Structure 1
């Protein structure tokens, strides 16, 4: 261990206080012997071992320690490690003498697996450093020990992997952007075609109204029957087109809402009354139970009608004659929020458990003989779910195959900051005409004589 003691010639150049410590069989020598009993063992360690004493003199305990420094034989003091060399942390910030791990360990800090980048004139290294301060029995710091591990190969491999990952992410991002562009092009095309379909349907519907108005006396019973068939199928096509357009609008973020203040109890009752002819035709009893006598809400009235009409249409389509459909309106609290719950319960075919999520997907339908007898595209419930979620609400389904289904929608009861118009929904002729038209379109799959 005599290698740790400076030569006599060098000692003469040191300050008197340092010479005195070393001549007294220095504490540095004593504690180095304590921590490194066998120098031959230390020399065999692959990691570099470096000691910095309290006078900033630097000692290489093995050859591995020299590999991290430029011209190590010329380094006597820790300050010399900056000769031709720059040091950086892994964030890219340059380190000075005070922020280097060796100087911090010499100040009493324990260094644990700290990675730094060493830029020398001949090469660039990456290393991981552990450092510990060593104290004597009087708790006086004697020296600091650094254990330096070369991580250059691992770091270069990591950087290579990161570059590959970034390239893959970029390729994936480009693919996603191309896919989004393709989907937008598809939606734009579908929107254009669907919108073009709507124009002739509207013309046919207008022509039917003109025939009934202007030629009512000339219409025979058979012709009237044919006109009803044309009108009903026109409404069916109009319903399909409107659902497709709204799905596209929702997907593109162009789905508009117009919030008004109206009595939802009265609105629900009027909607139920408007579908009674269809329920009577199928000999299905419609029941309305409400724990509220009157409740004004801020909501998109037309969207609420659309939601309820879709649920009622499905309930009547899938409920056999002689059964019952019940509509319930209640106020409820869900996760500390006041919600309005509208439930439509039928006694129909029910929905298998494995299909209960699928029916809310676009074009999702329940397979089976009974469902195939009732025509539809499977767009309605998907759109209902989108509208309910856009209104900050939720939709739930409880169903048992063969016993019926209950669809419950939860809508928030709250005021919005800006309301452009107010609707009380009392005897309004235009309002009734609008509801009747909406019913005719939504129930066009149910033939009404």
Structure 2
């Protein structure tokens, strides 16, 4: 563990502790801002797709969405449409959803089961592993020596982490495990509570909204500053429950631009896992390492961003707001695909331990939908702010003269971390250190 005060005398990049080495450039220790054009310009959006999305590990699905051979979902990787398929042999393949003949969209459904995909334009047929198996009249029109294998669907590397499927088209990118690096220690705190693993019991929910994708990614990366202002109505209604009590928090940064903000109830010595059935607490302690238990116990909220566009939120908010609902910790995954500089295609999932009771999962789902669903209290607040930011960021003078500022709490670190874990740990609950880290990595890729 490395604990710093985020002051100019302690360069952030020089203190990152990572099992894979500190490959990211040093985060800023003086005044830091991001030009507004990065939130509005079409040319920068196109550069993002090439420089960032094409070369990163991107979350595409949960394994439980495609449990049987032939199951598939169609998703986006940036702006590239892909098919994520469980092949007949049980492997998972992620392939461009584009016929290799003339480029027509191959599979039109969002979800289904198929052994083959047939193009509706000229009838080319591909197996669910991407191999071209049928070309009408190919001997007559192409010749007997036509090489079908050279027209297989373009496939991405696909790897899994606790049931989460990631893909990349970059053959030179490090493995997914190395890309996650020390962040895996924290992800396992809520993904590894059960030996049975995880599932996404209700599938994915998709919606479009106005706003640049980075606004939401940086919000989840560590923005605790907006909560009492943008979401004041939610606090006034008591929707945050115990999270509104006495807490202490940290912000953590990792290689490759990943970040986490975590809170726990202050002053509690007992090892407890609120939101999880008490009879399952011994299993949680056995599943996690002692250091992970120390970090995760008495958690009130944990959220962050896996660079570039996968964010997560863990909260043990009690129940689903209806009489008889059980206490259920909610884990939500969010993906932000930039279909334009001003439009974000978003998907969200509830992730739950596979073998937990159905009423527990239902309560967690209600919490997700009512707090952080597409039309929920907190999302409505955030989406309005993102839309308003978009409204002004396209202004010529704004882009030229008024940058987005991220100077909050350079020298403000009032807490000592209550756990000994990896990454660069800053003892501050309200800070923009995570956003500085996220955007420094972004700018390194865009301008390097």
Q: TM-score scaled by structure 2?
A: 0.24
* Structure whose CA Rg is larger: 1
Give the structure with the higher percent helix: 1
Answer 1 or 2: higher relative contact order, Cα 8 Å, separation at least 6: 2
